[in-house]
């Protein structure tokens, strides 16, 4: 029986492919991972090679089927989840990219978004839930149209397709298949509402590309953009084509799930109720709060975004706070300061002291994201005394991640006018017990860590599986979630607020530091 779901999680540093069974558990041997190259052509520019990403995806798919000994017939559907905002442009006739992928971290379009901020801030915020920033896809497409010779002509002739990474992967999976939603585009040229909502071209309320924004972002032809669809597609975005014949022994598998990785993580954490919130602790932190059918207009510098959709024309929304540097600060302790040799060493070091002795560390290495949005903030360590040692610095770095998370959660609570119940944690740095205990303490809220830590790929599995009835309802999926560990707040309120006000004072000193 076909009841397993294969998931492609195409992230910023690498691609992970996994197979899940009907209990939402990864099958034995059913995962593979490959990194891809990070290309930095100029300071502030970040690119990926789309062909390399696709090749590594294929390698991982083959490896996962070989290792797990799962037969193609057992795969009911494929789910895709991805680094968001990153843009690919390719020629559908040849499958060749027309430029490298411009990655979400790339800052080259700052002059474009500065201009948009001055003239069109309200319009963009009202329609998309986003603030003009190089982070999002729209300005990257405009840059491509203005800088790649002949691209505008190609777009006019249907010889250039744009898409986020999910679109690129799904197009390749379904390339040459007769059975897709866009038969005239050489493959399924689709995206889901959650990915589309990160482009700055998508109307959050109408759940469609917005003609006024397409004009503003360089006169983008709507035909060159993917078809926006629900995150779980009952009739499939398309079926796999000859490109993946080698992987599935000629079997055509439906692609039925697609969501941006941060949205997929909240789905994998079964954050289906309004007010449910998760924080993914990676290189940075991404915190999402389910706001149900409402687009909550943040008054506290958060973004509104589509969480997921199970039905055309309908969506569940989320508030999002993105923090750029959290786990990356631990890497900096390791590679920059050489205070530790490997990242996990930070935990015992931080645990060897009960407090930082008044030390604060603000990891504003590339400015500060939500809720400060200050590109000129810079990192600082403050409160150093003769008694300060390695362990205090290690602890201050761990604590800074929890403080930054509280900053975002407080902004969310102000926006929804209530307190959050529980914080669900996932991502690499969520393995740290000392971090999650301090997180619970500084929030005064219980923090839960799930048994299956790969919540991003699990979320995409659930979305794909819902479409083919591996799971029938959200309630059925909800029952599959298990906590691996629960961290209860242990700190008294007086100490908590004293520590937090010290943090706010430290952040204040970091703001605007690099401004001429
Ligand atoms: O918005 C960017 C985010 O989707 C990237 O996630 O895990 O690939 O770094 P990740």
Specify the pLDDT at position 249.
86
Cα separation values, 325 from 105, 389, 400, 436, 459, Å: 12, 23, 10, 17, 24
Q: pLDDT confidence of 30, banded at 50, 70, 90?
A: confident
Beta bridge partner(s), residue 304:
319
CA distance 355 to 352: 9
Name the phi and psi angles at 15, rounded to 5.
-115, 130
- Collect all residues with Cβ–Cβ distance below 8 Å to 215 and sequence separation of at least 6: none
Name the phi and psi angles at 457, rounded to 5.
-70, -30
- Mean predicted confidence (pLDDT) in 318-330: 92
Instruction: Determine the distance separating the centroid of ligand 1 and the alpha carbon of 320, expressed in angstroms.
Output: 13
Specify the pLDDT at position 59.
96
Place of tokens 């017939």: 73
Q: pLDDT confidence of 44, banded at 50, 70, 90?
A: confident
Instruction: Determine the distance separating the centroid of ligand 1 and the alpha carbon of 215, expressed in angstroms.
Output: 27
CA distance 310 to 296: 20
Atom of ligand 1 nearest to the CA of 260: 4
Q: What is the pLDDT of residues 107-122, one digit of tens each?
A: 889 889 889 999 999 9
> How would you list the strands of the sheet with 285-292, edge to edge?
303-311, 314-323, 285-292, 277-281, 422-426, 446-450, 483-487
Q: What is the pLDDT of residues 198-255, one digit of tens each?
A: 999 999 999 999 999 999 999 999 999 999 999 999 899 999 999 898 899 889 999 9
Specify the pLDDT at position 175.
96
- Mean predicted confidence (pLDDT) in 350-363: 96
Q: pLDDT confidence of 1, banded at 50, 70, 90?
A: low
User: Do 17 and 5 meet the contact criterion of CB atoms below 8 Å apart?
Assistant: no
Q: pLDDT confidence of 23, banded at 50, 70, 90?
A: very high
Ligand 1: lining residues by beta carbon, under 6 Å: 11-12, 83-85, 104, 260-262, 282-283
Q: Compute how many other C-beta atoms are within 10 angstroms of the C-beta atom of residue 488.
A: 11
Backbone dihedral region of 275: left (phi > 0), alpha (psi from -120 to 50 degrees) or beta? left
Measured in Å, how far apart are the chain's first and last C-alpha atoms? Answer: 65
E strands present in 285-336:
285-292, 303-311, 314-323
Specify the pLDDT at position 391.
96
DSSP SS3 for 262: helix
Beta bridge partner(s), residue 14:
35
CA distance 393 to 62: 44
DSSP one-letter code for 356: -
How much of the chain, in percent, has pLDDT values that exceed 90? 84
CA distance 230 to 407: 32
Specify the pLDDT at position 226.
98
Specify the pLDDT at position 7.
98
Instruction: Determine the distance separating the centroid of ligand 1 and the alpha carbon of 103, expressed in angstroms.
Output: 10
Atom of ligand 1 nearest to the CA of 261: 4
Strand pairing of 314-323 and 380-382?
unpaired
ipTM over 0.95: yes
87: pLDDT strictly greater than 90: yes
Chain-wide mean pLDDT for the chain? 94
Instruction: Determine the distance separating the centroid of ligand 1 and the alpha carbon of 386, expressed in angstroms.
Output: 40
Instruction: Determine the distance separating the centroid of ligand 1 and the alpha carbon of 86, expressed in angstroms.
Output: 9
CA distance 268 to 457: 7
For ligand 1, atom 9, the nearest C-alpha belongs to 12
- Mean predicted confidence (pLDDT) in 46-70: 95
Specify the pLDDT at position 10.
96
Specify the pLDDT at position 250.
85
- Mean predicted confidence (pLDDT) in 7-35: 93
User: Do 109 and 142 meet the contact criterion of CB atoms below 8 Å apart?
Assistant: yes
User: Do 147 and 218 meet the contact criterion of CB atoms below 8 Å apart?
Assistant: no
């Amino acid at each position: 029986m076909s009841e397993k779901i294969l998931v492609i999680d195409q992230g910023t540093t690498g691609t992970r492919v996994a197979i899940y069974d009907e209990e939402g558990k990864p099958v034995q041997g059913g995962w593979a991972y490959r990194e891809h190259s990070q290309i930095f052509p100029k300071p502030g520019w970040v690119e990926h090679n789309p062909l390399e990403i696709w090749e590594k995806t294929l390698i991982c798919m083959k490896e996962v089927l070989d290792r797990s000994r799962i037969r193609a017939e057992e795969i009911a559907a494929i789910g895709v989840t991805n680094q968001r905002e990153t843009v690919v442009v390719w020629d559908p006739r040849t499958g060749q990219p027309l430029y490298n992928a411009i990655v979400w971290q790339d800052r080259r379009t700052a002059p474009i978004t500065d201009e948009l901020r001055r003239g069109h801030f309200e319009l963009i915020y009202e329609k998309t839930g986003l603030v003009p920033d190089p982070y999002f896809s729209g300005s990257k497409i405009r840059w491509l149209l203005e800088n790649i010779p002949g691209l505008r002509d190609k777009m006019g002739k249907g010889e250039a397709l744009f898409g986020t990474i999910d679109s690129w992967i799904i197009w390749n999976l379904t390339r040459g298949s007769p059975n897709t939603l866009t038969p005239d585009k050489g493959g399924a040229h689709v995206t889901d509402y959650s990915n589309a909502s990160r482009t700055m071209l998508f109307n959050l309320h109408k759940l469609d590309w917005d003609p006024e924004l397409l004009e503003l972002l360089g006169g983008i032809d709507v035909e060159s953009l993917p078809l926006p669809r629900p995150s779980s597609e009952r009739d499939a975005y398309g079926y796999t084509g000859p490109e993946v014949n080698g992987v599935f022994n000629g079997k055509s598998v439906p692609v039925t799930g697609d969501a941006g990785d941060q949205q997929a993580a909240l789905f994998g954490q079964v954050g289906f109720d309004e007010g449910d919130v998760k924080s993914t602790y990676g290189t940075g932190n991404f915190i999402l709060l389910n706001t149900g059918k409402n687009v909550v207009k943040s008054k506290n510098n958060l973004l509104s975004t589509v969480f997921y959709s199970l039905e055309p024309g309908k969506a569940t929304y989320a508030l999002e706070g993105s923090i750029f540097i959290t786990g990356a600060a631990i890497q900096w302790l390791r590679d920059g300061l050489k205070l530790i040799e490997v990242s996990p060493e930070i935990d015992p070091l931080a645990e060897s002291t009960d407090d930082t002795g008044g030390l604060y560390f603000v990891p504003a290495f590339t400015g500060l994201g939500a809720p400060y949005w200050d590109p000129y903030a810079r990192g600082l360590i403050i409160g150093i005394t003769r008694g300060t040692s390695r362990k205090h610095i290690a602890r201050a770095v761990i604590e800074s991640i929890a403080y930054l998370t509280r900053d975002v959660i407080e902004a969310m609570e102000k926006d929804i006018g209530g307190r959050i119940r529980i914080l669900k944690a996932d991502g690499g740095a969520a393995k740290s017990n000392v971090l999650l205990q301090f997180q619970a303490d500084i929030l005064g809220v219980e923090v839960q860590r799930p048994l299956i830590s790969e919540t991003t790929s699990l979320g995409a599995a659930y979305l794909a599986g819902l479409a083919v009835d591996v799971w029938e309802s959200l309630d059925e999926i909800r029952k599959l979630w298990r906590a691996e560990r629960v961290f209860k707040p242990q700190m008294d309120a007086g100490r908590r607020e004293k520590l937090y006000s010290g943090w706010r004072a430290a952040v204040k000193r970091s703001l605007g530091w690099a401004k001429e």
